[in-house]
Amino acid sequence: MKMISRKGFTLIEVMASLILLAVTLVSLLQLRNDAVARAASSRSGSIASRLGLGLLHRVEAGRVSDLFDGFQGDFAEEGFGDFTYLLGLGDGSAFAGSTGSDAEMTWRDSARAAVEDPEAADLPEYTRIFLTVTWPGSGGEDGSLQMETILPTWAVYQDFELWEALWGTSSPGAIR
């Protein structure tokens, strides 16, 4: 009797190969989607940081009028209408970030030391600013970035009389 040699694959081998291929492709696609989502989140966080710092610089320069605790808006003028902000002013702000954080304790310690220092009376007064920038995220969850800084009180409340009293001799005209 002659033996017939069979060339090819059995149905079980083909099915096992297809299942292995499908699992591998699904895993690779999931990894790709996760990487794209992380990249988009990082991009949005970077944009939020840049927009938030720009707003804080405008406040510091005294270019944002009528600031109040809870001041809010969006960055539509900058081309990012989906990004919104909420600004809190002062220690007692209802819009302050987490209380009791390391930054909070450092601020409180430095404020206490400044009150006890007799030379601190000559220094300009500062106001704490809390800024939260939010944007729509993927998967229905909004992203947010919280920033905190201290700025000269004259700039926050646009008290240009105080500015003149503190730095009247260094006006732009005198510098030229």
CA pair distance 164, 142, nearest whole angstrom: 43
pLDDT in tens, 89-106: 887 777 776 655 666 667
Amino acid 79: pLDDT: 94
* pTM of the shown model: 0.69
The three state secondary structure string of the chain is CCCCCCCCCCHHHHHHHHHHHHHHHHHHHHHHHHHHHHHHHHHHHHHHHHHHHHHHHHHHCCCCCCCCCCEEEEEHHHCEEEEEEEEEECCCCCCCCCCCCHHHHHHHHHHHHHHHCHHHHHCCCEEEEEEEEEECCHHHCCEEEEEEEEEEHHHHCCCHHHHHHHHHHHCHHHHC
Average pLDDT, the chain: 81
Question: pLDDT in tens for each of the 176 residues of the chain?
Answer: 666 777 888 999 999 999 999 999 999 999 999 999 889 889 999 999 999 999 999 988 888 888 888 899 999 999 999 999 999 988 777 777 665 566 666 766 666 666 666 665 555 678 888 999 999 987 778 899 999 888 888 778 777 676 666 656 655 544 33
Domain boundaries defined on the chain: 65-176
